[in-house]
Structure 1
Amino acid sequence: MAEAYNPQNIFARILRGEIPCKKVHETAHSLAFHDINPLSPVHVLVIPKGAYVGFDDFSAKASAEEMADYVKAIGDVARQLGVATDGYRLLSNCGANANQEVPHLHVHIFGGRPLGRMLKKDGE
């Protein structure tokens, strides 16, 4: 069974204005902000404003309008940050095996430098 949404997670608290963020972009259904511990020169998180634990939850329950807004927001942010031309990485960890740390759907946008291989092969 999927994890229940916890309305006290850090992203829900950011959405309610209880915790500040360095906002990059906001739409009716999405919010993008800088990661507080960046792993690359560009490291921004894009979250839906709805209460979705991960991608499976989002794809099963979100409206078509929310889905379109979220996907468009991710692309808009990549262009706004200037990484669309040279390349960037999208990462969304979903669930325990993927080491999802915050139980609210979020996509990381990494860029601003060569990022290397996605994953090392077993034995490397």
Structure 2
Amino acid sequence: MECLFCKIVDQEIPATIIYENEDVMAFKDINPEAPVHLLVIPKKHIPSFAHLTQEDNEVLMPKIFVAIQHLAREFELEEEGFRVVNNCGTNGGQTVGHIHFHLMGGRRMVWPPG
């Protein structure tokens, strides 16, 4: 498989892994846009948000959001705030074909993002 994030999950490509369990992995973004910028992914390959199945929505997505909440607490982002972003498809800004969520914090976020 040519998926960059699957290669990180399989430890074929190095990453600074911050969190990992059976279903979810989080690692530092290599081009951070904030002092805290993590990518949170399912270990299961899912091309994008548009490709989620009913089972993914019921079982996997809650695990991802629990991980994001845990990481926000771990990095002490709750009080000042943080942003969770999912880019879906080319026009949505998705550059890696594996669903992922950006957890960003540690600075003031602006809107619109761009």
TM-score, scaled to structure 2: 0.91
**Structure 2 residue ranges without an equivalent (≥5):** none
Matched to 2:61, the amino acid is M
SS of 1:103 mapped into structure 2: coil
Q: Cα RMSD over matched residues?
A: 1.6
- For 1:71, the equivalent position in structure 2 comes to 65
User: Which structure 2 residues correspond to residues 1-124 of structure 1 after superposition, within 5 A?
Assistant: 7-60=1-54, 62=56, 64-119=58-113
Write out the 4+ residue segments of structure 1 that deviate beyond 4 Å after TM superposition. none
**CA-to-aligned-CA distance 1:80-109 (integer Å, 9 cap, x gap):** 111122100111110011121000000001
Offset from partner CA, 1:50-108 (integer Å, 9 cap, x none)? 11011121244526332221111111111111112210011111001112100000000
Corresponding pairs, count: 114
In 2, are the aligned partners of 1:91 and 1:108 still within 8 Å (CA)? Answer: yes
The two structures have a TM-score, normalised by structure 1, of 0.84
Q: Which amino acid aligns with 1:31?
A: M
For the residues of structure 1 that align with 2:112 and 2:37, how far apart are their CA atoms?
16
C-alpha distance in structure 2 between counterparts of 1:59 and 1:85, whole Å: 34
Q: 1:118 Cα shift?
A: 3.0
Contact 1:43-1:110 at 8 Å conserved across structures = yes
**Structure 1 segments unaligned to the other structure (5+ residues):** 1-6
What is the DSSP-based 3-state SS (H/G/I as helix, E as strand, rest coil) of the residue aligned with 1:33? strand
Question: Radius of gyration: which is bigger?
Answer: 1
Percent identity of the aligned residues? 35
